[in-house]
Structure 1
């Protein structure tokens, strides 16, 4: 009685095995063909080709090593420079030393230090993936962003960099000048320009063909300018304009940025219900995750820089709730990002999950802005 059922499953497994065999043969066929061609060549040509192939294997090995995981990932990175500043806002004078010459000391900006830490994390502690030549070459001509593997780190880095770029713009346009009417700070302006640099630039460009500054070096220069500004601020030779209207504007910009990412997640979720087989879903998820990772640090730092305003307007509880929700988002860590149906139980929708967290944070930002604007 069970024989037909057993025979049915035997046929199923036979055809699955046959299909896997055909797939492996299709993948290996070009390499077998090249191997036969290689064995027929002369010694010198084989030696040259062997060296080139070995070099390519080494390069790809380094690429895989850098792409597989994010080094020094630490959601609480901002505590390095935030906890001891809740008593004094950014740019506030902290001491005067009287001697033959008066020396003033002011508070550094935790926001600026947070940006410097994020840039260091992205391009010094990790390789900037998007501009690596093997990332640009892709997987047998297929863009890595269109594959289901080795693109998550690049998406995470681009999401974090988006938050850095947005914050750098606000530093130039509002926070680093007096009421927006004074001249823009030179160091912040230079930093903003470098941090807006194209994310995919390698050492050489084809339009026109010429050497060019690679993306990581541009970001490192932007980081140096940020630190230079903060050093001047610490010596009371720069401006950080801590006012409620500047904080309102800053929260508005972050809320808009997060809202754009939420809309992109929604569009991707609507476009596909392929679950684990949606090769673009992981890009959207890790981009949003990187953006939230960066904004968590930036907003924790803003708590320190705008400590007086947050306390005087009785925003501490709402602000702490927002930080807690941001921190909870960073606990998400799916092994495989799935973009299934929202009510699916086998292949859930991780895009909807992270999108929900994004909207909660955005709602908190809107509430904070509303209280400040009263």
Structure 2
């Protein structure tokens, strides 16, 4: 009586096995054909093709390492600075230098220091993924951002870079000069220009055709310029205008920046509820994560640079609350990003969760900004 059922199940598994075998055969056929072609060639051509394959394998091995190993990734990295021990605002004179200008010392900028270190983290401690040749070529012509592979780190790095770009613009236009009437600091101006450079440029390009300076070279020069500015600030040869209105404007720009990211997360969460099969959800998530990662350290730097303002306006409690929102958001590191429905019960909705924390941070920024206007 059970024979028909057993035979039916056996046939099902037989056809499943044949289907899997056929799929594997289709995948392996080009490689088998290439292997037969290779064995029929002369030794000179074999040597040339062999060297090319070794180079390609090496490139992919390096690409795999660059995208999967996140060197020195540490969501609690701001704690390593110990900014709370400084007790001096940026640009504030510390010593008089025995009456000589060259011997004066002033407080440096923690914001500039963190911005330089974050860029160093992106392009020196790690490879800048977005301009790597294999990232630009994609997966058989498909952009890596449209696949579930090898794109999380690139999005994370671009999120950090977005925050640093915004910060260097504020340093050049407002913080590193007196009431926007003085000359823009040349190092900050160069750093801003270098960090605005395209994120995807390799050593060679087609538009325009010819060799190019790759993206990481520009970003490395921005690191040097930010550190040169800080070195001159420490010897009181340039200025940092640590006024309340400058801090308010910087916070407002950050609130606007992450507000735009929140809108992107909201749009993706509402219109692409494909659970684990939304292959762009991870890009949005890790870009937002990178922004918060960077702004957490930059806000710690701002707390040090504007120490007198924060004390005068009694902002410490609000600032501590904002720090708690940053740390809560950065603790969320899913292995796979899912974009499920908000009322779903099978797939999680990581984009909505990240969007919630982005808005919490933005709310804290707006609240601090409101206090600064009083």
Coarse TM-score class (shorter-chain normalised): over 0.9
Q: Is 1:341 aligned with 2:341?
A: yes
CA contact (8 A) 1:262 1:358 kept: yes
Q: 2:67 matched to which residue of 1?
A: 67
CA contact (8 A) 1:108 1:234 kept: yes
Q: Deviations over 1:29-64 (max 9, x none)?
A: 211121122222222211211111111111111111
Q: 1:292 matched to which residue of 2?
A: 292
CA contact (8 A) 1:82 1:304 kept: no
Q: Quote the offset at 1:10 in angstroms.
A: 5.6
Q: Is 1:25 aligned with 2:29?
A: no
Q: Quote the offset at 1:287 in angstroms.
A: 0.6
Matched residues in 2 for 1:264 and 1:186: separation? 35
Q: Quote the offset at 1:342 in angstroms.
A: 1.3
Q: 2:137 matched to which residue of 1?
A: 137
Q: Deviations over 1:172-219 (max 9, x none)?
A: 111011011111111100000001110000111222222221111100
Q: Is 1:183 aligned with 2:188?
A: no
TM-score, structure 2 as length reference: 0.95
Matched residues in 2 for 1:164 and 1:285: separation? 18
Q: Is 1:160 aligned with 2:143?
A: no
Q: Which runs of 5+ in 2 are unaligned?
A: none
Q: Quote the offset at 1:93 in angstroms.
A: 0.8
Q: Quote the offset at 1:271 in angstroms.
A: 2.2
Pair 1:224–1:33, CA change in 2 (3 A) = same
Q: Quote the offset at 1:104 in angstroms.
A: 0.8
Q: Which runs of 5+ in 1 are unaligned?
A: none
Matched residues in 2 for 1:93 and 1:119: separation? 28
CA contact (8 A) 2:83 2:300 kept: no
Matched residues in 2 for 1:83 and 1:245: separation? 22
**Matches for 1:72-151 after TM superposition, within 5 Å:** 72-98=72-98, 103-151=103-151
TM-score, structure 1 as length reference: 0.95
CA contact (8 A) 2:83 2:301 kept: no
CA contact (8 A) 2:102 2:235 kept: no
- Please give the root-mean-square deviation of Cα atoms over the aligned residues, in Å: 1.9
Q: Is 1:50 aligned with 2:66?
A: no
The 3-state SS of whatever aligns with 1:202 is: coil
Matched residues in 1 for 2:305 and 2:4: separation? 74
**Matches for 1:168-317 after TM superposition, within 5 Å:** 168-317=168-317
Matched residues in 2 for 1:4 and 1:272: separation? 44
Q: Quote the offset at 1:15 in angstroms.
A: 5.1
Q: 1:35 matched to which residue of 2?
A: 35
Q: 1:319 matched to which residue of 2?
A: 319
The 3-state SS of whatever aligns with 2:77 is: coil
Q: Quote the offset at 1:23 in angstroms.
A: 3.0
Query: 333-342 or 26-35, which moves further after superposition?
Result: 26-35
Query: 21-30 or 53-62, which moves further after superposition?
Result: 21-30
Matched residues in 1 for 2:266 and 2:332: separation? 18
Q: Quote the offset at 1:12 in angstroms.
A: 5.8
The 3-state SS of whatever aligns with 2:64 is: helix
Query: 290-299 or 78-87, which moves further after superposition?
Result: 78-87
Matched residues in 1 for 2:5 and 2:347: separation? 28
Q: Quote the offset at 1:143 in angstroms.
A: 1.2
Pair 1:50–1:370, CA change in 2 (3 A) = same
Query: 42-51 or 321-330, which moves further after superposition?
Result: 42-51
